Chains A and B, each alone.
Chain A
Amino acid sequence: MQSQSPFAILIKVVLLGAIDAVAVWAGIELVLSANYSMLAVLVVGTGLLNALVLSKKAYPFRYMAPALVFLFGMVVYPILYTGYVSLTNLQTGNLLPKHMVIETFENRFVLAEDAEQFTYSAFVDEGDGMALVLESETTGERLLYENGDTGPLDMDDPRLTLDDEGTVTGLLGYEPANKYAISSRLDALSIPFGDYVLRHSLFKFSKNTKQYSFDESSDTLTDLTTGAVYSPIEGTFTSEDGTELEPGFQAWIGFRNFGVLFSNAALRKDFGRVFAWTIVWSLFSVFLSFSLGLGLALLLNDRKLRARVIYRTLLIVPYVMPVFISALVWRGMFNTQFGIINRLFNDLFGVTFRWLDTPMLARGVLIFINVWLSFPYMMLISLGALQSIPGQLYEAARVDGAGMFRRFSKVTLPLLMISLAPLLIGSFAFAFNNFTLIYLVTAGRPAVLGAASPAGATDILISWTYRIAFQGGSGNQLGLASAVSILIFVMIGTMSAIGFRFTKRLEEVYK
């Protein structure tokens, strides 16, 4: 490092130290919860960050660090995670990871037939030790549990303090414990008692048998009451005769989700219809809003127009209002019974339309609302781009005898496209994924005859994915939805790549 002021070095040390401390703490938590993939990511990330600051060669790149961190955390990691989920069968019934499901089964106990129960007195010492004196309600048998060892209670044990009725009130070396404070420790105990275990519930211990046992070496779950052996097959513990245990767990199924998408004919039809509507929706939204925006920009560019500032301010309002508010207001305005649009139509023409309930009308309404929301943005960027066209080009064109339309199509439009084409492609990609508007106004509905999945008439790819994820099958179908997301990602990526090549060709106009 070059020589720096002590203050700068101090700031660097404190910041890096703080980041490293947080990373160490997070690392400990991740190790405790056995999340090794996140741990690897954390270690690599922190290591790179430290290298960036401390190494001489990487130092000039330090200002890129925040952007790279966010790029990784919010773009690359979600893509990788979605890809991973699309190769699993994550859905209702297979939601939890395998170790949690095994834990559930190992924590299942069956009450013994005689339902023998034990009352207890609990004692704790200064450290982590715990002792319990248990007394059976049926046989009067007394047990002493101390730090993992259980045995019959020896009434002659010198450490015991007994009261007149023979109840144990004290144990040397221990203090009586508050049952509430230690209840979670008691819940976790399994005290062996002959062929049974004693489990804690509702402040008593009861005799239970453990129902399942998981054998790690053979990777099987055995039902101790019936003797049936269950092996994990594709996310469910299945016995030899085919009985499946509930719940299942997440399991790797490879490319089956993608296979379902391509092989199921009805799903393919849904996909085709939704895809076609998404393309139409994006194209029309961008084209119509750009035409309107450019037209208004050309009008506002005219020096002779008075009060231009006022018009410009008023026209920007749709862009400035939050989409959530304006979308919901528009939905109310298009309401069949009470909407103001229908009231107007009824008074003027005597006819009403079911705007949001008929498929074609709903699509038209959505495009209309999206154009209303986006045209100010197009107007602003067109205004900006128009300023960059030199006036002499127009003069030269006028001298050469070009009329207004020719001037527009040969001078204005090509030069505008150089600067605006990337923005238009960006708008197209944004409209392609505009989940908010679709969901707020119609939620993808109205329904379509012949649909095999939750795909309505106004569903775009992303809202269809959302509905599969949270409203499909018997609850959630996250694996299938992730597969659809990956497909959407590939499609938009390809379209954007093609789009950018196209804009590169446009740049040659200037050269």
Chain B
Amino acid sequence: MKRILALGLIIVIVGIAAVAQDVTLTIYADDTRAPLLTTLGEAYTAVTGVAIEIVEFPWNDIRPNFITATQAGEGPDIIIWAHDAVGELVANGLIAPMELGGRAADFSSSALSAFTVGDTVYGMPYGTENLSLVYNKEIVPQAPRTWDEVLAIMRAQYDPDVPSYGLAFQNTAGNFFQFFPMISAAGGYIFGFNEDGSYNPCDVGLANEGAVFGATLYQDMIEEGILPTGVDWDTLNALVAGKNVAMVITGPWLLSAIQDAGWDYGIARIPAIKGPDGTYNQPLAFIGVQGFMVSAFSDNKTVAMDFLLNYVATTEVMADMANAGNRIPTFIPAIDLAPADLAYFADQAAFGLPMPSIPEMDQVWQEGGNAIDLINNGTDAATALQQAYDLIIAAIGCE
């Protein structure tokens, strides 16, 4: 008897707790953006009574956690992530179209197109990033304009005992992002375009003459020894911190480490590479766009978009969000508030293309990364790229 009463009491208490619920907006953000959103959230709660819960994850864990949580029905309402996930998330039906309406004019069109699949915009961008050449003015007073100058600097600076290098960029297997500029200069490309402007995943330009030319140039540098291999994120940071390298091809994410190391740094376009026909071509850099996306299974889409469009999409907040991560703002009124340095990244951004966000891109990261590995280990550039091409086509399933 007593047991039944105790049981009943527990059930009743739990039941009451389950029913009493306020409207809460859950946002997945990383540790750089979370503090800004928390202050903003408090202002929002004071005005509207809607509670905002920010859940912090390391940047790379946001996407897998979002996918797993949404599958289980416990997903957040908003996430912050890069645009290259949009293809996969839309293919899985996990994100909802963003209703920008007239506000779309406030965002740069290239940033919006990065978040577009078909005709629908699926996110609200806040910042872009791309690779550029960052050079130490103490060692290299003038930014090199051509790759021949770069090679001269590399040979002059090379000393394995110190160690000292002229140029470094991440070139371990997972870093196809940094490898792409060299491939693209003479005509390599990732996916071709269909007539309507969408990507044609079966038209892969990773093994064409231009790509092989760029990769062979890379291989020659490695064989000569002037370009360090096996440089991952930690090694790059170590090289920068010890001023062991004169020039780095990197994005704004490394700027704080460069500033901490006390570099007198300059930012310039990646130097032009002379193609096999003698013309100088500007290497292209991937542009990464970061933004907010709303979950398709959110019960609070109206409140989520209200928060995003009316509270986040203001000049000061967008400028702060982009500035926190050293990104260039995509909110047009906020671009004037960006630090001067970042304008130099825009130089290269004019020669950039957004990372393709279609799910087939995953294979490119995978196999392109493996191709770098093989080239690092001595495989001929043409063979390595050809293998990457064959495997990508096979995995995508093109005939």
A residues whose Cβ falls under 8 Å from a Cβ of B: 13-14, 16-18, 20-21, 24-25, 33, 92-93, 95-97, 100-101, 103-104, 107, 178, 180-181, 183-184, 186-188, 200-203, 246-247, 332, 335-338, 346, 352, 354, 356-359, 445-447, 449-452, 454, 456, 470-475
B299 in contact with A337 (CB, 8 Å): no
B157 within 8 A of A: no
A335 in contact with B230 (CB, 8 Å): yes
B83-97 contacts to A, CB under 8 A, are 88, 90-94
Q: Would you give the shortest CB distance from A474 to chain B, in whole angstroms?
A: 4
B7 within 8 A of A: yes
Using A178-B49, A201-B99, A447-B173 as known contacts, say yes or no to A475 and B88 having CB atoms under 8 A apart. Answer: yes
B366 within 8 A of A: yes
Bound state CA distance, A231 and B160, in angstroms? 64
Using A17-B3, A25-B11, A25-B14 as known contacts, say yes or no to A184 and B300 having CB atoms under 8 A apart. Answer: yes
B99 in contact with A20 (CB, 8 Å): no
For A264, the closest partner residue in chain B by CB is B394
Bound state CA distance, A240 and B384, in angstroms? 41
Bound state CA distance, A445 and B372, in angstroms? 11
| Chain A residues within an 8 Å CB radius of B173 | 445-447, 456
B209-254 contacts to A, CB under 8 A, are 228-231, 234-235, 238-239
Q: Would you give the shortest CB distance from B261 to chain A, in whole angstroms?
A: 15
A247 in contact with B230 (CB, 8 Å): no
Q: Would you give the shortest CB distance from B65 to chain A, in whole angstroms?
A: 13
B93 in contact with A96 (CB, 8 Å): yes
A21 in contact with B90 (CB, 8 Å): no
- Give the dominant DSSP class at B's interface: helix
The one of B11, B303, B363, B376 in contact with A183, judged by C-beta atoms closer than 8 angstroms, is B303
| Chain B residues within an 8 Å CB radius of A178 | 48-49
The one of B161, B296, B297, B395 in contact with A473, judged by C-beta atoms closer than 8 angstroms, is B395
B20 within 8 A of A: no
| Chain A residues within an 8 Å CB radius of B14 | 21, 25
- Give the dominant DSSP class at A's interface: loop
B303 in contact with A184 (CB, 8 Å): yes
B109 within 8 A of A: no
| Chain A residues within an 8 Å CB radius of B172 | 445
A-B contact pairs, 7 of them (CB 8 A): A21-B11, A96-B71, A97-B71, A104-B297, A247-B93, A358-B377, A472-B366
Using A180-B23, A449-B383, A470-B64 as known contacts, say yes or no to A92 and B91 having CB atoms under 8 A apart. Answer: yes
A337 in contact with B302 (CB, 8 Å): no
For B376, the closest partner residue in chain A by CB is A357
B residues whose Cβ falls under 8 Å from a Cβ of A: 2-3, 6-7, 10-11, 14, 22-23, 48-50, 64, 67, 71, 73, 88, 90-94, 99, 101, 160-161, 163, 172-173, 228-231, 234-235, 238-239, 296-297, 299-303, 305-306, 309, 359-360, 362-363, 366, 369-371, 373-374, 376-377, 379, 383-384, 387, 391, 394-396
B92 in contact with A474 (CB, 8 Å): no
Q: Would you give the shortest CB distance from B387 to chain A, in whole angstroms?
A: 6
B92 in contact with A92 (CB, 8 Å): yes
Bound state CA distance, A183 and B301, in angstroms? 8
| Chain A residues within an 8 Å CB radius of B309 | 202
Using A183-B302, A203-B302, A359-B377 as known contacts, say yes or no to A354 and B383 having CB atoms under 8 A apart. Answer: no
A95 in contact with B71 (CB, 8 Å): yes
Using A180-B48, A474-B396 as known contacts, say yes or no to A338 and B23 having CB atoms under 8 A apart. Answer: no
Bound state CA distance, A5 and B235, in angstroms? 67
Bound state CA distance, A399 and B394, in angstroms? 71
B359 in contact with A337 (CB, 8 Å): no
Q: Which of B73, B360, B370 has the most CB of A within 10 A?
A: B370
B360 in contact with A356 (CB, 8 Å): no
A180 in contact with B50 (CB, 8 Å): yes
Bound state CA distance, A447 and B374, in angstroms? 6
Q: Which of A17, A20, A184, A470 has the most CB of B within 10 A?
A: A184
| Chain A residues within an 8 Å CB radius of B300 | 183-184, 187
B7 in contact with A186 (CB, 8 Å): no
B49 in contact with A181 (CB, 8 Å): yes
User: Closest 6 A-B residue pairs measured CB to CB?
Assistant: A247-B93, A447-B370, A474-B359, A21-B10, A447-B373, A180-B48
A93 in contact with B235 (CB, 8 Å): no
Q: Would you give the shortest CB distance from A101 to chain B, in whole angstroms?
A: 6
B99 in contact with A246 (CB, 8 Å): no
| Chain B residues within an 8 Å CB radius of A247 | 90-94
For B378, the closest partner residue in chain A by CB is A358
A474 in contact with B363 (CB, 8 Å): yes
B362 in contact with A475 (CB, 8 Å): yes
B366 in contact with A471 (CB, 8 Å): yes
Bound state CA distance, A472 and B160, in angstroms? 38
| Known pairs A16-B3, A180-B49, A449-B384 / 11 extra A-B pairs, C-beta < 8 Å | A20-B7, A33-B73, A107-B296, A184-B23, A187-B299, A201-B301, A201-B305, A246-B93, A247-B90, A354-B229, A449-B379
